[in-house]
Amino acid sequence: MENIKGKILWVDDEIEMLRSHILFLKDKGYDVYTVTNGEDAITSVSSNNFDLIFLDEMMAGMGGLETLAKIKEINPNLPVVMITKNEEERLMEDAIGSKISDYLIKPINPSQVLITTKKFLEAKKISAEYISRDYIKEFQEISRTMMFDPNYEDWIDIYLKLVSWDLELDENRDLGLQQSISDQKRECNSEFGKYVEKNYKKWINGEGDKPILSNEVVEKFIIPELIKERSVFFFVIDCMRLDQWLLMEKELYDFFNISKSYYYSILPTATPFARNALFSGLFPSEIEKYYPELWKVNDDDENSLNKYEPQLLEKLLERKRIKLKKDLKYLKVLDTEYGRQIEQTISNYSNNDLTSIVINFVDMLAHGRSDSALLKEISPNEPAYRSLTYSWFIHSSFFNMLKTLSKQKNVTIIITSDHGSIRCLRGTKVLGDREASTNLRYKFGKNLKCEDKNAIFVKNPLDYKLPRRGITINYIIAKEDYYFVYPTEYHKYLNYYKDTFQHGGISMEEMILPVVTLKPKI
C-alpha cells in the first residue's frame, strides 16, 4: 500500500473478534500485523520495525504485562498501548510502572483505536501543520501591529509572541521556520530601535505614557511586599533574557504560584548602569550627583563599578522610609562553591525582611562564549544557548535555593534581571580616541563616530541621565544586532566578535525584562 502511515502490531488471543477494527485501521492507511500470543509478539518485535503495538492484557500463556516487559527489553522506545477489561488501580499502576504508553478499556470502538493511533503515529505531523498555520497567522498580526505606531505595551506583547514562537520552534525544528522568525525579529528590532530613540528621553523625564524603568523596580515590586511584612528574597540574574527565564519557569510550577510583569532597562543596557539604577532607584547621573562616593567616575571595571549595590539599596529604602527589623542581607554569587554555601543556609535568611542575591552565571556564560571555542561549539545558535542556560539552571544552587524557599511560609520571591543580551551578527566601524571604552554595544569617549543609522549618539550625557565623565565625552549606543569595531585590524575583530552574545545596546532582548513574583503553594 502506498503512503503507509505506520506499521502496527496487534497482540490478542481473540484477534478474530477484532477484525473490523483492524480493517478500519488498514482503510485509514496503516499497515497492521496480528499475532495471538506473547511469544509470537516477542518474535515479531525482534524481527520487524513496528511503530506501535496494541497489546491485550489478559492472554493465555504469557500475559500482557510479562509480554510488555520483554518488548521493552528489545525496544525501550516502542510505544505500547495496553487493552484490558480490568479497571483496577493496581493494574494501571503496574502498567505505568512497566512503561506502558497508554491503555484502552474494553469494549473498544474503532474511533478510540483511531484516535490513539493518530496520537502516537501522526501527532507530530498534525501538530506541525497547526503550528505552521498558527505561526503564519501570528506573523501577520505582528506585522499589522507594527504598522500602527505600537506603544511600549504593544512592544512587550510583540516580544512575548516572538519569544513564545522561538520556544515553540525549538521543539519543532523540522518545520524550517527558524529563518523566518529570525528575519522577523531583526525587522522588529529595527523598528524598536527607532521607537526607543524617539521616546527614551521622555520616559526618563517622566513624560507621557511610559514603561516601568530600571530605577523604579524596587519601588514598584519590592517595597509593596515589604510593607505587607513578608520576608522578601530579591534575586537579580545578571544578563538574563525573557526566553531564558521562560525555560526556567516551567520547572517551578509545582512549587510556586507565579505572576509576571515587565519593565524596560535603562540605557546603556549594561551592568554598571542598569544594575546600579535597579538597586539605587536613581539614574546614573543622579547617583553621581547625590552619592558621589558610591559612583567611581573613572573606574571602568564592571565589578568595581557595582561594588556599592547594598549601600545604594539601603539609601533607597531610607528615602522611601522603609525600616527593616533586621539589617539588609546582600549576597553576590560569583562562583559555584559560594552558591552551594548559600544553598545550604538559605532557609536561615527567611527571618530577614529583605535578602538580595545577585547571581552572575548567565552573564559569565554570555561573556565566556565570546572567548571559548568549546562554549561556541556546544551553543552555536539561539536554541542551543537557551538549552545551555536551562541545563545550568536545573543543576544549579539557584534552583535548589528556590526549592528550599518553596517550603517556607510568609515568603515572597521576586526575580528579575538588570539587562538581557543579543546575538551580534553585524559589525559597524567606530572612530574614537585611545581612551574610549572597550565595550562592544556601547562606548564613551571623545568624538566617537559611527554610522548614524546603527547607533544612538548621546552628545550631552545628562540628556540621558548619564555621568558626564568629562566635558568632551560623548556616548554611542548600538541598535539592533550591531557591534562596534575599530578600523585598526577591523576584519580580525569583526570576525572574532561576530556571533557573540553582547549587551549594552538597544534591542528587545536587552531592554524588555521580566519581573517574576513567586509565592510558595504551601
Q: What is the 3-state secondary structure (H, E, C) of 382-416?
A: HHHHHHHHHHHHHCCHHHHHHHHHCCCCCEEEEEE
C-alpha span between 303 and 204 (Å, rounded): 25
Q: What pLDDT was estimated at residue 88? A: 65
- On the CB side of 396, CA atoms within 13 Å amount to 22
Q: What pLDDT was estimated at residue 97? A: 67
Q: What pLDDT was estimated at residue 299? A: 46
C-alpha span between 483 and 477 (Å, rounded): 9
Cis ω before 268 (30° cut-off from 0): yes
Amino acid at 51: D
C-alpha span between 438 and 386 (Å, rounded): 27
512 dihedral zone (left: phi>0; alpha: psi -120 to 50; beta): beta
Are residues 218 and 316 in contact, defined by beta-carbon separation less than 8 angstroms? yes
Strands (E), 199-317: 231-237, 256-264
C-alpha span between 355 and 234 (Å, rounded): 6
Nearest C-alpha neighbor of 182 from the set 172, 194, 169, 191? 169
Q: In sequence order, what are the residues at sequence separation of 6 or more whose Cβ sits closer than 8 angstroms to the Cβ of residue 415?
A: 235, 236, 237, 245, 514, 515, 516, 518
C-alpha span between 331 and 58 (Å, rounded): 61
Digitized pLDDT (tens) for each residue of the chain, 522 residues in all = 457 889 999 999 999 999 999 999 999 999 999 999 999 999 999 999 999 999 998 898 898 889 999 999 999 999 999 998 876 666 666 666 667 888 888 889 988 999 999 888 887 777 777 888 888 888 899 999 999 999 999 999 999 999 999 998 888 777 678 888 899 999 999 999 999 999 999 999 999 999 999 999 999 999 999 999 889 999 999 999 999 999 999 999 999 999 999 999 999 999 999 999 999 999 999 999 999 998 864 444 555 678 899 999 999 999 999 999 888 999 999 999 999 999 999 999 999 999 999 999 999 999 899 888 888 899 999 999 999 999 999 999 999 999 999 999 899 999 999 999 999 999 999 998 877 888 999 999 888 989 989 999 999 999 999 988 777 788 999 999 999 999 988 999 999 999 999 999 999 999 999 999 999 998
C-alpha span between 138 and 484 (Å, rounded): 33
Q: What pLDDT was estimated at residue 95? A: 60
pTM score: 0.84
Residue that has been written with the C-alpha cell 521622555 in this structure: 202
**What three-state secondary structure class fits 498?**
coil
Q: Which phi and psi angles does 83 have, rounded to 5°?
A: -115, 125
Q: In sequence order, what are the residues at sequence separation of 6 or more whose Cβ sits closer than 8 angstroms to the Cβ of residue 249?
A: 258, 516
Q: Which phi and psi angles does 288 have, rounded to 5°?
A: -60, -40
Q: Which phi and psi angles does 236 have, rounded to 5°?
A: -115, 115
C-alpha span between 496 and 372 (Å, rounded): 11
Strand order in 473-478's β-sheet?
442-446, 473-478, 455-458
Q: Quickly list H helices, 291-406.
A: 302-305, 309-319, 336-345, 361-371, 373-378, 382-394, 397-405
Instruction: Measure CA of the first residue to CA of the last residue in the chain; give whole Å.
Output: 57
For 380-391, give the secondary structure using H, E and C: CCHHHHHHHHHH
